[in-house]
Amino acid sequence: MTSIPIGAGVTLTTSASVATVGVAGETGIVAGSAIYQKVSDSRWYRAQATVNMADATVVSSIGIALTPADAIADAVTLTTSRNAIIDLGASLTDKSKHYLITTDGTLAEYADLASSSYVNWWGLANGTNFIFAANLTGVTK
């Protein structure tokens, strides 16, 4: 599996005005994680391919964590802005597309999606930066 190594050196290279602060609903959110806001409690969780991110009865918003949240109810800085440019502090293959996989908050290329996973495209590598430009299909692989 060739997932994006996340957690160190994550910075928003787009205007800081696209960043916001939310409340974590679980422990273990690291900077660079793909996250979603749950409708039932309005808190943020690590996204994964086993959840239909296109289901508006479950998911109210999606984004990328810019700071870690080590405990439930911690503040987490994030962006939900499509086309936000983020330096994940990782080496990316230029023009590669990245999707949610079954590991919480982790992104990888399409080949790494397990069959029966939801196809949730989260973004595109642009040189060494990541462009958050999600497309949530609600369809499984």
pLDDT tens figures, 25-77: 999 999 999 999 999 999 999 999 999 999 999 999 999 999 999 999 999 99
25: CB partners within 8 A, 6+ apart: 38, 41, 43, 44, 45, 72
From the list 105, 134, 125, 95, the residue with the least C-alpha distance to 24 is 105
pTM above 0.85, yes or no: yes
The answer to whether position 2 is within a domain reads: no
For 90: left if phi > 0, alpha if psi spans -120 to 50, otherwise beta; the answer is: beta
pLDDT tens figures, 82-113: 889 998 888 788 899 999 999 899 999 899 98
Q: How many domains does the chain have?
A: 1
From the list 66, 67, 28, the residue with the least C-alpha distance to 48 is 28
Q: Which domain holds residue 51?
A: 11-140
The answer to whether position 5 is within a domain reads: no
The answer to whether position 96 is within a domain reads: yes
